[in-house]
Amino acid sequence: DSGVTQTPKHLITATGQRVTLRCSPRSGDLSVYWYQQSLDQGLQFLIQYYNGEERAKGNILERFSAQQFPDLHSELNLSSLELGDSALYFCASSDRDRPSPLHFGNGTRLTVT
């Protein structure tokens, strides 16, 4: 158990809809990262937050947004969903803002129909 909690485990929704994925980092970790895993693109970095502030952006679409709250949990919001957004979304956390290992949650599998 990595200590990173992601909810829900599965989400099935229709095109055009909006969903929110939630992540609770390991106790004490200030950095939260979001990754998308799809068959064709592999594991792609989306966005990082550190202690509530956005630190880096990767290949995140404009339809997607995220935030990290004062209690350090994070939410990833996906809107105007398309079939191609179907993927496994991972959250990871690490302590402070250093190159320590990222500890990943079990992921949220999103299916857009």
Partner 1 sequence: AQKVTQAQTEISVVEKEDVTLDCVYETRDTTYYLFWYKQPPSGELVFLIRRNSFDEQNEISGRYSWNFQKSTSSFNFTITASQVVDSAVYFCALRQVSGAGSYQLTFGKGTKLSVIP
Residues of the shown chain interacting with partner 1 in the complex, contacts defined by CB under 8 A = 2, 31, 33, 42-43, 45, 48, 55-56, 58, 88, 90, 92, 94, 97-107, 109
Give residue 7's Cα distance to chain centre. Answer: 10
**What are the two backbone dihedrals, phi and then psi, of residue 85, each rounded to the nearest 5 degrees?**
-85, -10
Tokens 């068959």 found at: 39
**Cβ-based nearer residue to partner 1, 18 or 96:** 96
From the CB of 82, what's the least distance to partner 1, in Å?
22
From the CB of 111, what's the least distance to partner 1, in Å?
14
Cα(41)–Cα(108) distance, rounded to whole angstroms?
17
